[in-house]
A and B are shown apart, each in its own frame.
Chain A
Amino acid sequence: MSGLRRIPWAPLAVVVALLVPAAGSRFYTFVATDVAILALFAVSLNLLLGYTGLVSFGHAAYFGIGAYTTGILMKKAAIPFVLAFPAAGVLAAIFALVFGFFCVRLTKIYFAMLTLAFAQIVWAICFKWNDVTGGEQGMPEIPYPDLAWMERLPLAGQLRTSDHFYLLTVVLVAACLWLLRRIVGSPFGRILTTIRENPERAEFIGVNVRRWELFAFVIAGAFAGLAGGLFGIFNRGVFPDFAYWSKSSEVLIMTILGGIGHFYGPAVGALVLLVLNQQITSYTEYWPFILGTILIVLLFVFPGGIVGALDAAARRLTRVRRA
């Protein structure tokens, strides 16, 4: 058991992910890109949900802002990806700062409601500002970043553009996750956990709760924006639904499904949910029904999510072995 623990799982997962295009199936690359991007989106939400104890119901706003930023810059202004991608994070962070400033003043259900209201405002703007966002019909045909240099790389030369973009996505998502991991492992991360456990006590020992919550809100928004920037390109188009509240609930479900108690839990949730979706929609159109059922089982039987449940199972196993 302890041998397994010593294996560097995260780097291994990245290596495995990088090998996906070698399978030669465009469908695998498609699903894997989707998973990687939404994993980052879900993990960014968990910075609020699992680490700080803030239930955001409008996290899609920052995802949408990021997607439109990168999309508009690359399509309309022909700005290269190296600038358009970080811009997604920066703009999302600015919006998160403004919105978050008001949100963190509220508690619990009111916080959730205000995040929702802001997200719907973002959605309404994307939906109606025809000249800039394309309005209802969105903005198709976001160009791929210029990845011709990848053709000179060993092994990657024969791959398609979508594979090249996938490799780039894996590297960027891995870097973002690594950064986020560092953030939650830092003293800042411990402050957030203290706030989650008991905000009054945190305040009492001299923590400026609102300021740190706002900080967490901005960071979460920035990474959601980066995820959105990648997603617009992957999706070959940016649409107002990216910021709609159903998107927010989708990522919330991924996060809870995977388990909010662990850093990579939401990523596992994204993986399981998307793969399940691909499988089930091949057989039936009633995916929402199945998702709803999964959710109810989850809430009643495995409130800790997949990772939480596996954790508990493993603990029981160890106990049995020891006995």
Chain B
Amino acid sequence: MPDPSFLFAQSLSGLTAAMFLFLIASGLSLIFGVLRVLNFAHGSFYMLGAYLAFQTVQSLGRGPSSFWWAVAGAAVGVAVLGGLVERLLLRHLYGKEELYQLLFTYALVLIVSDAAKVFWGTQQLSVSRPPGLAGAFRLFGTLVPYYNLFILLLGPGIAFAFWLGLNRTRAGRLIRAAALDREMLGALGVNVSRLYTGVFVLGSFLAGLGGALVTPVKTIVPGMDVEIIVEAFIVVVIGGLGSFWGTFLGALIYGQVLSFGILIFPRFSIFSVFALMAVVLILRPWGLLGRPLKS
């Protein structure tokens, strides 16, 4: 029987990973829900968020608040970039086949990855934990870093903010309506084009935010874009493409499977998440909490 404090530590590490994933995957799911575009470049926006945060921390120095400025700056910067991409390029592909939209976002992946290499080189970069959250405290015999606690609280916080936004604001209602029936919106005289831009900007913001927040825990390195997009895909597919709570649930499941997977079949834990994704798609293609799409 494994030690309970170990089980606690392991599930906590799964939860932390899940909250990071939720931050990133929620943007992906949101964009798919409204625009019906599976955005491969979401991972690239995440990577850009990380690099921008690094850059800002570098130029601001190690002051007590520089990390937080860097996070805010990175998220906004990526959001602006997302807006430009949607306005200038992506919108011209809306009427076209899904495959073209997919390939367009894939082209962005290729371009952004090389652009990042030009600006930041290929070396891996590292950002320290923000001074206020550098320590750790003991809980049930396990050391919990303050920064992880912050992420554990931030995840549900964002989820709650989202839920409020979706249910209590006009924009939120439009987003939910768009996820259900796009044609209706246009017929009701809603400015669909602005809604799309807004959603893409918000989704990119979340990607940038996730990228910036992950820097104290992981190292910034070329290839982190592709790695995260695969994980985010798995999360949204398990939870349900376009489903908000589904993404949350998907992230929780993914985190725990990764954490405990290495105990059950140590060398095949990467296999287990893909298998889970396949099983969900076979049994419930629209995901655990999603709704079947209208064709």
Contact = CB atoms under 8 A, between A and B. Distances in A.
Direct A–B contact present (CB less than 8 angstroms): yes
Contacts of B106: 249, 253, 292, 295
A109 B31 CA distance: 14
A112 B115 CA distance: 28
A124 B270 contact: yes
B197 to A, nearest CB: 19
Contacts of A289: 110-111, 114-115
B274 A246 contact: no
A314 to B, nearest CB: 23
Contacts of B274: 117, 120-121, 124
A300 interface: yes
Contact of B268 (A108, A116, A128): A128
Contacts of A121: 271, 274-275, 278
A114 B277 CA distance: 8
Contacts of B233: 113, 116
B270 A299 contact: no
Interface stretch (B47-55, B96-104, B141-149): B96-104
Nearest to A125: B271
B136 interface: no
Contacts of A178: none
A288 B111 contact: yes
A247 to B, nearest CB: 13
Interface residues of A, number: 38
A245 interface: yes
B188 interface: no
A127 interface: yes
Provide the main secondary structure of the chain A interface.
Answer: helix
A118 interface: yes
A292 B118 CA distance: 15
A303 B110 CA distance: 19
Interface in B103-151: 103-104, 106-111, 113-115, 117-118
Contacts of A116: 233
A108 B98 contact: yes
A127 B270 contact: yes
Query: Most chain-B Cβ atoms within 10 A of its Cβ — which of A107, A124, A246?
Result: A124
A117 B277 contact: yes
A106 B281 contact: yes
B281 A117 contact: yes
B153 interface: no
B281 A109 contact: no
B99 A55 contact: yes
B184 interface: no
B295 interface: yes
B42 to A, nearest CB: 15
A109 B268 contact: no
B96 A303 contact: yes
A118 B281 CA distance: 11
Contacts of A49: 99
A292 B108 contact: yes
A253 B285 contact: no
Nearest to A249: B106
Contacts of A55: 98-99, 102
Contact of A124 (B226, B268, B293): B268
Given A55-B99, A296-B104, A296-B107, A110 B281 contact: yes
Interface of B: 38, 89, 92-93, 96, 98-100, 102-104, 106-111, 113-115, 117-118, 226, 230, 233-234, 237, 241, 267-268, 270-271, 274-275, 277-278, 281-282, 285-286, 293, 295
9 contacts: A55-B99, A108-B293, A112-B102, A113-B281, A120-B274, A246-B226, A286-B117, A292-B114, A296-B104
The 3 closest A-B pairs by CB, nearest first: A292-B110, A289-B114, A292-B111
Given A117-B277, A286-B114, 5 more contacts: A106-B285, A108-B293, A121-B274, A249-B106, A286-B118
